[in-house]
Amino acid sequence: MFVVERCAEFVEGLRDAPLAPEVLYHAKRAVIDWTAAALAGAREAPASALEAALAEELDRGAAQLILGRRAGTRAAALINGTAAHTVEMDDIFRDGIYHPGAPTIAAALALAQAGKASGATFLRAVIAGYEISTRIAAAMGRAHYRYWHNTGTIGVFGACAAGASALGLERARTTHALATATTFAAGLQQAFRMDSMSKPLHAGRAAEAGVTAALAAGAGVTGSLDVIEGDAGFGRAMGDAPDWTKAFATLGAELHIARMTFKNHACCGHAFAAIDGALAAQAALGVAAHDIARVRVASYRAALEVSGIEAPRTPAEARFSLKYVVAHALRHGSVRLAAFGPEPLGDPATRTLMQRIEASIDAELDAAFPSQRAARIVVDTLDGRSHSLLQPTRKGDPDDPLSDRELEAKFLELAAPVIGDAQARALLERLWRLEGEAEVKLASAAP
């Protein structure tokens, strides 16, 4: 069996299989988190700019943008997928170094709306996309992540599997959809190593590519079935010849959607352990930020490479500056969306504290990446005291998850400023009952 055939077999089998309440629960948590992130990003560039750029594809079609505007399926997937990744609050599959929700749910939603699918059908599509793509992400591993942005490259598989499920494609056509989607995979890490809007576009483009591949296969377009494992295929060209048998060994027996990381900070997830550890050390010392003489952060290599912008000038750069987000957290107690406004970005006290932060690679923690995201922290005070600790995980990771109450608070924090508190609460209530909805309507018009 080729890899795409194995994936298609699972997607087809999931369509009619009974889903345990726990699986539906985790799928709804993922959709709640995605909706919050998409609403927060919908009015920001580049999502807002895409609406202007693609105006001729909007105000018609069977799908909707997250704020209610009608759109064709591909435009909806592109813009909603971009919006969900714009403010850096979307979910993570830790072992795959991958944000599955932004592309997968955007694609599932667009095609579910176009086909007037039920909430239960939509959730099955979401689960299918998560399960297929997270295994591919984990198999490709660090070798792939060296140059590629997994949310753009791996995201096409999540979007395509979800799209094929939502469309009800039979196994052979789902197989060809996944084969076609494979050759659409793209997204370079260099695209966000300096100020740029490219990173969220990777998620949107992956969603659009997955939708395109699914629609094309439904109309009879075929793909090369060995495109993942072949000599010139995805695994060898963009990775280190991964073990595909091992990658899919637990498919259907273990559901990855139950192991998502839901973000607790509005920035690059590689900086989270440093933020959490610095706050814990500060609390142990009982000091204010202005009493700190030095902060030493030792973490895994990717944390420094991806979130290593030293002197951020813009919100996009600041989200990928470990020193900025740690300094801001020490001054304000958290890193929320407001951390990236003009006033916080230019705050002299934060900039001064950034100069007192040192970052280095810890070989032991680097060896444990990506399955563990940790940091060693040492905080020295001006009066000569010091506190050191190992921050072994990140708040929001599967081993320290956000509770339902914390997830709901995050949803309201992100959604209420966009659609109003009453609409946000009503939408949240509907999302918790999504499997009983006759049609999928996540969009809410801004007040």
pLDDT in tens, 287-304: 999 999 999 999 999 999
Determine the pLDDT at residue 447. 57
Q: What is the CA radius of gyration of the chain?
A: 21
User: Average per-residue pLDDT in the chain?
Assistant: 96
Residue 65 and residue 110: Cα distance in Å, rounded? Answer: 9
What H or E segment, with its residue span, contains residue 144? Answer: helix 119-145
**Strand pairing category for 58-64 and 386-391:** unpaired
Quick one: what percent of the chain has pLDDT higher than 90?
96
pLDDT at position 393: 97
402-434 pLDDT per residue, tens:
999 999 999 999 999 999 999 999 999 999 999
Contacts of 105 (CB under 8 A, 6+ apart): 30, 31, 34, 84, 126, 129, 162
The per-residue pLDDT for range 73-127, each reduced to its tens digit, is 999 999 999 999 999 999 999 999 999 999 999 999 999 999 999 999 999 999 9
CA dihedral 318, 209, 76, 38 (to 10 degrees): -30
Name, in order, each residue with C-beta under 8 angstroms of 243's C-beta and a sequence gap of 6 or more. 139
pLDDT above 60 (res 400)? yes
Are 180 and 59 in the same domain?
A: yes
- pLDDT digit string, tens, across residues 23-51: 999 999 999 999 999 999 999 999 999 99
Distance separating alpha carbons of residues 265 and 269, to the nearest angstrom: 8
pTM above 0.85, yes or no: yes
Q: What is the CATH number of the domain that holds 14?
A: 1.10.4100.10
pLDDT at 196 over 60: yes
Q: Are 290 and 297 in contact (CB under 8 A)?
A: no
| Same-domain pairing of 133 and 55 | yes
| CA-wise closest residue to 99 among 239, 241, 263, 232 | 263
How many domains, in total, are found in the chain?
A: 2
pLDDT category of residue 441 using cuts at 50, 70 and 90: confident
Instruction: Tell me what pLDDT residue 377 has.
Output: 98
User: Is the CB of residue 47 less than 8 Å from the CB of residue 41?
Assistant: yes
Domain holding 71, by residue range, is 3-263+404-436
- Whether residue 19 is found in the same domain as residue 90: yes
Check whether residue 239 and residue 104 sit in a common domain.
yes
Q: Model confidence at 152, in pLDDT bands (50, 70, 90)?
A: very high
pLDDT band at 444 (very low <50, low <70, confident <90, very high): low
- Token readout for 24 is 């539906």
Q: Quick one: 227 and 287 in the same domain?
A: no
Q: Is 443 a domain residue?
A: no
Question: Do 273 and 251 have their domain in common?
Answer: no
In the block, tokens 């799209």 appear at 163
Q: Each residue of 290-345: pLDDT tens digit?
A: 999 999 999 999 999 999 999 999 999 999 999 999 999 999 999 999 999 999 99
At residue 1, does pLDDT exceed 70?
Answer: yes
- Given this model, what pLDDT does residue 446 score? 57
Q: Is the pLDDT of residue 445 over 70?
A: no
Percent of the chain that is helix, strand, coil (3-state, to 5): 60, 10, 30
Instruction: Answer whether residue 193 is part of any domain.
Output: yes
Output the domain CATH number for residue 310.
3.30.1330.120
Q: Cβ of 234: how many Cβ atoms within 10 Å?
A: 23
**248 and 355 in one domain?**
no
Q: Is the residue at 399 inside a domain?
A: no
pLDDT digits (tens, 9 = 90+) for 208-252: 999 999 999 999 999 999 999 999 999 999 999 899 999 999 999
